[in-house]
Amino acid sequence: MTISTIGVPMDLGADRRGVDMGPSAIRYAGLASTLGNIGRSCVDAGDLTVPHAEERDPEARSIEANAKYLDEVESVCTRLADEVASSLDDGALPLVLGGDHSIAIGTLVGASRDAEIGAIWFDAHSDVNTPETTPSGNVHGMPLAAALGMGTFADTPWANAPGLREENVVLVGLRSVDEPERERIRDSAITAYTMSDIDQRGVVDVTEEALDIATDGVDGIHVSLDLDWLDPSHAPGVGTPVRGGVTYREAHSALETVADRDADTGVLRSLELVEANPILDSHNETAELGVELVASALGKRVL
């Protein structure tokens, strides 16, 4: 399947500037040549146009005045949803490059427009805050809540992914979760695995079980990879680093497990790589690691 690369250079959903340069850093790290070397045809659809923060007022919020730049996020994610859906209609697999994690709203809406999907969320954070629970107002902490219509997002149809159900959403590798998010996860049908689960069971076992849950009764799955899922010693170039993340080899093993399942069943519908921040990076190593992990998810092997 052809890979359709869509860049979304947005940092409006995050506290720290710089992730808007993520798509360029990932491309510069050799994404196209790496995918070509594993036999995957790659078509680059370029970048969506995203407003600059300097041109906007972060206090001009929506939804109970506690979601920064939400109008801009809506505009970008609506266009991204159309791009993702168009790629799928053309028979391609959309690979979305962020940018902050708020862009996942658009990816999930587009990927589920004409299909029932599951989602695997490789992330240090659960991203199920809503405007009424967020401590920061940053929308990159809300994309799953938005896509699932939680809280006040129930009244924002542009953000609700039509074919995504809680029962098929799996969070893998959590280690930084706000108390309202804990309660929301406990009260939902979402499945969540913390880093303690990975420590006790191993990342392959956890990922296999996550795939079983995400793929149950759906047409395909979306895989969202936030680079802060990895320990900062391996991925320093992220805006919200949290110690105690997965190692280099654990990350590759998890994505290789996804690729193995996809090779057997063709279940992978869309893929997303977010939160690479070149300003905070060293010699682009985080973006280079991101490219390696994308390649593992799409079938690269040593032999």
Q: Catalytic positions, please?
A: 101, 123, 125, 127, 140, 226, 228, 275
Under a CB-based contact definition with an 8 Å cutoff, are residues 274 and 282 in contact?
no
How far apart CA 115 and CA 199 sit, in angstroms, is 34
How far apart CA 275 and CA 21 sit, in angstroms, is 10
How far apart CA 99 and CA 230 sit, in angstroms, is 17
Omega before 99 cis (within 30°)? yes
Ligand-binding site membership of 127 (annotated): yes
- The total of other beta-carbon atoms located within 10 Å of residue 244's CB is 13
Q: Of 58, 133, 100, give the one whose Cα is nearest residue 239.
A: 100
Under a CB-based contact definition with an 8 Å cutoff, are residues 231 and 247 in contact?
yes
Residue with tokens 């320093």: 236
Ligand-binding site membership of 226 (annotated): yes
Instruction: Kindly compute the dihedral angle of the four CA atoms of residues 288, 294, 298, 301, in this order, to the nearest 10 degrees.
Output: 40
Ligand-binding site membership of 155 (annotated): no
Q: Of 274, 266, 262, give the one whose Cα is nearest residue 300.
A: 262
Ligand-binding site membership of 283 (annotated): no
Under a CB-based contact definition with an 8 Å cutoff, are residues 30 and 290 in contact?
no
Sheet containing 42-47: give its strands across.
42-47, 3-8, 93-98, 268-274, 220-226, 117-122, 164-174, 191-194
Under a CB-based contact definition with an 8 Å cutoff, are residues 144 and 127 in contact?
yes
SS3 293: helix
Which residues are part of a known binding site for Mn(2+)? 101, 123, 125, 127, 226, 228
Binding positions = 101, 123, 125, 127, 226, 228
